[in-house]
Amino acid sequence: MVFSSLVFIFAFLAVLLVLYFAVPKKLRMLVLFAVSLLFYGWGEPVFIIVMAVSIASAYGFGFLIAKYRETNAKKAKLYLALSLGINLAFLLFFKYTNFFIRNLALLPGLSALTPIPWLKLPIGISFYTFQIMSYSIDVYRGDAALQRRLVPFGTYVTLFPQLIAGPIVRYKDIDEQLTSRTENVDKFALGARRFVAGLAKKILLADAMAEIVRYADASLAVSPTVVSAWMLVIAYTFQIYFDFSGYSDMAIGLGRMFGFEFLENFNYPYVSRSITEFWRRWHISLSTWFKEYVYIPLGGNRKGKLKQFRNIAVVWLLTGFWHGASWNFLIWGVYFGVLLIIEKVFLLKRLEKLPAAVSRIYALFFIAVGWLIFYHTDVSAGVRCLGAMFGIGADSFASATDLYDLLRYLPTFAICAVASTPIPKKLFERLHEKYSAFRWAVPAMMLAVLFVAVAYIVSSTFSPFLYYIF
Amino acid sequence: MKQQRIINIVTTALFAVFVFVLSLAFIFTPDKESSQTERRKLQQFPEFNWGSFSSGKFGSQINEYFNDQFPLRETFLEIKTAFERLLLKRENNGVLIGKDGQLAVRLFQATDGEIHSDADGNYIEEPYTDKFYEANVKSQLDAIKELESSLAEKGVKLYVLLPPRTVDVACSAFYYPSENSDALIRCVRENAAGLENFIDMYDIYRARYDNGEYVYYKTDHHWTTLGAYYAYAELCKAAGVSALAQSSFTVNVAADDFTGTTAAKGGMLHNDTDTVEYWTAKDSSNVKLKMFVSNDYSGKNGETRDSLFDLSYIDGYDKYGMFLSGTNVYTEITHSDGAFHKKALLLKDSFGHSLAQFLACRYDLTVLNLADLAKINIDPQEYDCVFICYNLENVITARHLLKLRWAAKLVE
């Protein structure tokens, strides 16, 4: 189930709100656990089994890891390895098997290999696997206490706001909230506002950009122009940001309605002045996860420059591959790894001396090219698009249609550009602080935005049947 | 901070009220069977069983059910359309919004003739685009050429008319540039160059449209009856026979509240409406037409009607369906006045439906629907001439004209 659907808002959420706040406090956790499973199983219930096995193994091994942690380091390590191994095995099997089969089949003599047709990616597996792993590691390291009860632990993994697309919550960050947290009207109001803001980002901005992306992509395949290539890349840059950060906003908002405080996942990444800064502002929970559970254990930056570069390379190969089982994601990871190393070696210092506008354009350009790689699962199409951006293989600079589209999408692009900066938020805060009338207007504005967003969701399901082709 | 607390209570209340009011409205509004504006049956509450639940079918049907039965669906639709207008997008759902209520579909699922699939072998639908694939246009026109030469050997002439789309005709109504239409027309012309009887009406329709003539519907993708009349006039000219003058027809208005496919696709519920006319020859007192329609190719099983116009369609949304009773695989129109009439074959898509009323003034007609037929067998002894009337939209989004290559081989 996705947040931006009618069935989520008007059935799932409505029922959950009643149920959650009607039952005694003791039972609230159980309610969350149960509805989270329903939420997860909505599309493909079979995968609940996969998730349940992952949860059960980490829960069980948790006891063993905690038991031997102080008395028998070897055994503790073994159980940690088993717990991580089982979880990773699921992820590897479901996500990467067919990728490896497909590529092995390219080798001489192995062409008989064919992908397993029924193998599908369980939704959210990349996210919840990382969450489960963080529990085992946190317990092993003593950063978190053993969770003895299954329901709170199960709820940690399955908690529906962050289950499918993050933020990836580290166990130690939420440990206490699982058992003791307060729900109140202040949190709920903030949460509702945040949810509506995220919904608007997804429905009003990301989906509008997606329309341009689809269109520009189809145009490029037939007659590429410089402008349409740039349109594709810029629109996709906006789409992925508003889609993903909108989703995180909705997750954080929903969590808050039920008393949870998740860490922020995005911090205006497109105002960054370097790629290094970008990755501190984009998908923060993932970068933190890799930093804490891969980069630092590998030695981080404490063992000399060469080791540090190796560690960066490992982390970024993994980050790329985590995003998808396809070559372009690996290239995407390597691309950022290389950029980050270059910045570490010399560029970062120079960037700091440049005017902000210049370093921002530098960062945005390489971020956008990154999204170009990310978007094109067909690598050769990505290369063609990149070429077209600079006139290589383009039919012309711009067609009249490009200009027409550019003009009619100008207001939407402008809204997206402004919404990518902290300006609206700062303005909001200033008005909120200064004017009581504004504070009173906020609930009404929230309602209006929610109304329009719902109108767009309803319209997106509008599918007239036309006696068309005949 | 007492004030903030009250505001938070108000925020919470508004959010809850919005969610619960619509949820309750959803529960208490009776389910609808079908939607007039969307021309389809709506999803009903699905039957629950473990099989359908575990396969995920139940879940996706519930999603559909919510989407289809959501309260105030049309109001929300209008809010969205209004908002898009506010954002100056000038289009909605790939439909251009032009002057005087003129609408036109801009984006089509043009095919390059290949079937595409993703890495897992799932079929990928063609994306919507305003471009087209030259190779597909060329191969289909080549197929027409093959049929033309096969028929010519048997002394049967082939007249080819590929009517433009609304977007190719009503260019002056939109800010949208005409370059894509121009490119398509250029491509069609180049590849039709070898055809002896290619009826090129692209400039004619544009000029007539710019002249204020009602040649294409505003809300539907078809030509109007007037537009079809002009096609008839040009076809007659090419065939060297005289067409009946416009003045020798009585214009009957079947409906003036027609909202067609284009408006439906664009979600424009309150656009200007169209007028559907059907023309009858004034001196037709002793001409009786009989129409036999069938939905199997053999043309054996079907029913006979004594009019080309089925006015019962006017009560429904598919008002254009009044011509030839909508799409049928096989239709035969014969004169029952006992006089001799030439026989013609019309290979068509739905543009042919409103053209048939005119061609039937002169010919006994066999009408075949190109999309439905797997094999087209033309007996040259049976026909004096063959017409093709096939819209450019279908030329670029489908490949049905390729069947004519086989038809050419079957001509004996």
Pick from B7, B88, B321: which is nearest to A443 by CB?
A: B7
Is the residue at A268 inside a domain? yes
- Residue B1: pLDDT band with limits 50, 70, 90: low
Alpha-carbon distances of A100 from A26, A93, A113, A117, A393, rounded to whole Å: 47, 10, 10, 14, 32
- State pLDDT tens for residues A395-450: 899 999 999 999 999 999 999 999 999 999 999 999 999 999 999 999 999 999 99
| pLDDT score for A469 | 35
Query: Residue A350: what are its φ and ψ, rounded to 5°?
Result: -70, -40
pLDDT digits (tens, 9 = 90+) for B274-311: 999 999 888 766 677 888 888 876 767 888 888 889 99
Q: What is the mean pLDDT of chain B?
A: 89
What are the pLDDT digits (tens) for A84-124? 999 999 999 988 888 888 888 888 888 888 888 788 888 88
For residues B53 and B167, state if they share a domain: no
Residue B43, in any domain of the structure:
yes
Provide, as residue numbers in chain A, all residues whose Cβ is less than 8 Å from the Cβ of B4: 186, 439
Of B15, B90, B318, the CB nearest to A192: B15
Of B121, B133, B397, the CB nearest to A222: B133
Examine the fold and report which residue of B83, B102, B117 is the final residue of a domain before the chain moves on. B83
Q: Report yes or no on B252 lying in a domain.
A: yes
Q: What is the pLDDT of residues A201-258, one digit of tens each?
A: 999 999 999 999 999 999 998 889 999 999 999 999 999 999 999 999 999 999 999 9
* Better pLDDT: B235 or B55: B235
> What is the predicted pLDDT for the residue at A452?
93
Q: Each residue of B351-364: b (16+ CB within 10 Å) or e?
A: bbbbbbbbbbbbbb
Same domain, A139 and A202: no
In-domain check, residue B23? yes
Clarify whether residues B154 and B43 are in a common domain. Answer: no
**pLDDT(A269) > 70:** yes
Asked if the model's pLDDT at residue B117 lies above 50, the reply is: yes
Let me know if residue A14 belongs to a domain.
yes
Confidence of residue A464 (pLDDT cuts 50, 70, 90): low
User: What count of other Cβ atoms lies within 10 Å of the Cβ of residue B267?
Assistant: 21
| Shared-domain flag, residues B73 and B165 | no
What percentage of residues in chain B have a pLDDT greater than 70?
98
Report the pLDDT value the prediction gives residue B21, as an integer from 0 to 100.
94
> For residue A467, is it within any domain?
no
Same domain, A133 and A202: no
Q: What percent of chain A has pLDDT over 90?
A: 59
Claim to verify: residue A133 and residue A282 sit in the same structural domain:
no
Contact A219 B20 (CB under 8 A): no
- B320: pLDDT confidence band, cut at 50, 70 and 90? very high
**Distances, alpha carbon B102 to alpha carbons B165, B172, B182, B215, B321, in Å:** 13, 10, 19, 12, 21
Report the 10 Å Cβ neighbour count for B342. 13
How far is the C-alpha of A345 from the C-alpha of A333, rounded, in Å?
Answer: 18
Measured between alpha carbons, how far is A227 from A388 in angstroms, rounded to an integer?
9
Q: Does the structure show a pLDDT above 90 at A462?
A: no
Report yes or no: A463 at the B interface, CB cutoff 8 Å: yes
Q: With a cut of 90, say whether residue A345 has pLDDT above it.
A: no
Alpha carbon of B200: minimum distance to chain A alpha carbons (Å): 22
What is the phi/psi pair of residue A106, to 5°? -75, -20
Q: Are residues A277 and A380 in the same domain?
A: yes
Is residue B338 located within the same domain as residue B208?
yes
Domain match, A365 and A246 both: yes
Same domain, A174 and A197: no
Q: Which residues span the domain enclosing B43?
A: 2-83
Q: Quick one: A149 and A273 in the same domain?
A: no
CA separation for the pair A207, B296 (Å, rounded)? 44
Alpha carbon B395 to its chain's center: 12
Last residue of a domain, one of B83, B101, B126: B83
What is the separation, in whole angstroms, between the first and last Cα of chain A?
Answer: 36
Residues A169 and A222 placed together within one structural domain of the fold: no
B321 by DSSP, 3-state: which?
helix
Q: Is the pLDDT of residue A467 over 60?
A: no
Q: Are B161 and B295 part of one and the same domain?
A: yes
Domain closes at, from A164, A181, A198: A181
Higher pLDDT, residue A452 or B40: A452
Same domain as A128, residue A217: no
Please write down the HEC assignment for all residues of B152-213.
Answer: HHCCCEEEEECCCCHHHHCHHHCCCCCHHHHHHHHHHHHHHCCCCCECCCHHHHHHHHHCCC
User: Is A167 found in the same domain as A245?
Assistant: no
Write down which residue in A115, A149, A181 finishes a domain. Answer: A181
**Are residues B180 and B72 located together in one domain of the fold?**
no
Asked if the model's pLDDT at residue B248 lies above 70, the reply is: yes
If asked whether residues A175 and A192 sit together in one domain, one would say: no
Spatial distance between the Cα atoms of A215 and B126, rounded to a whole number of angstroms: 11
pLDDT of residue B365: 93
Is A468 a domain residue? no
Distances (CA, A) of A455 to A262, A449, B83: 29, 10, 10
List all residues 6 or more positions away from A302 whose beta carbon is below 8 Å from its beta carbon: none
A-chain CB neighbours of B76 within 8 Å are: 454-455, 458-459
With a CB cutoff of 8 Å and minimum separation 6, the contacts of B25 are B71, B72
What does the pLDDT average to over B190-204? 95
Instruction: Among B17, B52, B83, give the residue marking a domain's end.
Output: B83
- Spatial strand order of the sheet with B91-92 comes to B91-92, B95-97, B103-105
Q: Is A328 on the interface with B (CB under 8 A)?
A: no
Q: Are residues B144 and B256 located together in one domain of the fold?
A: yes
What is the model's pLDDT at position A468?
40
At which residue do the structure tokens 């503790």 appear? Answer: A76
The predicted-structure confidence for A20-40, as pLDDT tens digits, reads as follows: 999 998 889 899 999 998 888
**Catalytic site includes residue A283:** no
Chain A residue numbers with beta carbons less than 8 Å from the beta carbon of B176 are 401, 404
| Judgement on whether residues B31 and B155 belong to the same structural domain of the protein | no
Q: Which of A283, A323, A376, A432 is catalytic?
A: A323
The tally of domains found in chain A comes to 2
Confidence of residue B118 (pLDDT cuts 50, 70, 90): confident
Q: Structural domain of residue A327, as residue ranges?
A: 187-458
**Min Cα separation A151/chain B (Å):** 23
Q: Which residues of A touch B67 (CB under 8 A)?
A: 6-7, 458, 461
Interface check A96 vs B, CB under 8 A:
no
| Residue B50 sits in the same domain as residue B155 | no
Degrees, nearest 5: CA angle B374-B376-B382: 160
Q: Tokens for B150?
A: 């096969």
Residue B124 within a domain: no
Calpha distance A66→A143 (Å, rounded): 11
The least confident of A111-120, A305-314, B227-236, B252-261 is A111-120
Average pLDDT, chain A: 90
Asked whether residue B82 carries a pLDDT value surpassing 70, the answer given is yes
Same-domain status, B302 and B187:
yes
pLDDT in tens, A128-152: 999 999 999 999 988 888 888 888 8
Token digits for A384?
A: 């063609």
Q: CB B93 to CB A462 under 8 A?
A: yes
Domain assignment present for residue A465? The answer is no
**Nearest chain B Cα to A408, which residue?**
B89
Strand partners, B103: B97
Judging contacts by C-beta atoms under 8 Å, the chain B residues touching residue A188 are: 8, 12, 15
Residue A169 lies in a domain: yes
**How many domains would you assign to chain B?**
2
Q: In this structure, is residue A466 part of a structural domain?
A: no
Residue A139 lies in a domain: yes
Per-residue pLDDT for B119 more than 80? no
Which of B178, B166, B36, B165 minimizes the C-alpha distance to B101? B166
Residue B94 lies in a domain: no
Tell me the pairing of strands B330-335 and B363-369. Answer: antiparallel
What is the number of alpha carbons within 13 Å of residue B379 lying toward its C-beta?
Answer: 4
Is the pLDDT at A470 greater than 60? The verdict is no
pLDDT at A166 over 80: no
CA distances from A19 to A11, A28, A30, A31, A131 (A): 12, 8, 11, 7, 27
- B62 and B174 housed in the same domain: no
| Phi, psi values for residue B402, rounded to 5° | -60, -25
Q: Which residue, of A153, A181, A209, is where some domain finishes?
A: A181
A117 touches chain B (CB under 8 A): yes
Contacts of A462 in chain B (CB under 8 A): 38, 77, 93, 267
Predicted pLDDT of residue B286:
62
B8 to A190: CB separation less than 8 angstroms, yes or no:
yes
Residue B349, domain member (yes or no) = yes
Same structural domain for residues B263 and B193? yes
Q: Identify whether the C-beta of residue B216 lies closer than 8 Å to the C-beta of residue B229.
A: no
Which residue of B76, B88, B318 is in closest CB contact with A455? B76
Residues A73 and A148 in one domain: yes
